[in-house]
Amino acid sequence: MANLTLYYGTMETGKTTKLIQDHYNYSRYLIKLILMKPKVDTKGKNTVITRTGENVNVDIIIPKSANLLSKKYFNKYKYAQFILVDEAQFLSKNQINQLWYIAHKYNISVVCYALKSNFKGNLFEGSSQLFARSDEKHELTVNCSCGKSAMFNARRVNGKYIFSGKEVVIDGEHDEIEYIPLCSDCYLNFVLNNKCN
């Protein structure tokens, strides 16, 4: 039977590179594949694009209130063997439950690639539910500039770490915004100025 699988990590852990590699491997074996991503991720428009410029086309863009079990979406994925979902942290709790249902009711393997936490160090809604519902979880890691394993996605605006603002601001859309993977010690030091938030 199929499973719901999660690959998660901070920025720059190669989640999208892994998705594109998986997409290539499954396609090579003629596995019927559907690629989805949330509408809120406007990066790359209707493609998934890595930092090195590789890209694949997205089959289904998921609006915030979409019900993935409705006929409109079901008809698009019903013959698929695999569904890959990029930036799954931006999906709602209900949409994650729907993906879990698709895996176990319709026997379609669903693989989600997601950021674990937002720039304030809290779980995204989609990630939180993915931790609750995924049958398999794999952490992807990257080192902080100090050499320790990164835990946080710090937001930097014009080169300065900040701890305020909206949860979702897509980098690349705003030139001045970037996300930096930091370990706990560097996050406490550079972002929280050694205070408890």
Query: Residue type at 103?
Result: A
For residues 142 and 146, which CB has a smaller minimum distance to Zn ion in the complex?
146
| DSSP-assigned beta bridge partners for residue 56 | 48
Q: Which helix (H) or strand (E) holds 125?
A: helix 125-133
Query: Near Zn ion by CB under 5 A, which window of 27-35, 73-81, 152-160, 182-190?
Result: 182-190
Catalytic residue among 12, 54, 87, 178: 87
> With binding defined as CB under 5 A, does residue 183 bind Zn ion?
yes
Total of chain residues touching Zn ion, rule CB under 5 A: 5
How far is Cα 157 from Cα 136, in angstroms, rounded to an integer?
35
| DSSP-assigned beta bridge partners for residue 82 | 33, 109
> With binding defined as CB under 5 A, does residue 144 bind Zn ion?
yes
> With binding defined as CB under 5 A, does residue 80 bind Zn ion?
no
Q: Determine whether 62 is exposed, middle or buried from the number of CB atoms within 10 Å of its CB (0-12, 13-18, 19+).
A: buried
Query: Near Zn ion by CB under 5 A, which window of 54-62, 105-113, 117-125, 185-193?
Result: 185-193
Identify the residue whose tokens are 């895996």.
Answer: 103
Q: What track of x and - describes contact with Zn ion for positions 148 through 167 (by CB under 5 A)?
A: x-------------------
How far is Cα 168 from Cα 139, in angstroms, rounded to an integer?
22
Active-site residue 176, yes or no? no
How far is Cα 91 from Cα 125, in angstroms, rounded to an integer?
7
Shortest Å distance, C-beta 141 to Zn ion: 13
> With binding defined as CB under 5 A, does residue 186 bind Zn ion?
yes
Shortest Å distance, C-beta 100 to Zn ion: 35
Residues annotated as catalytic are 87
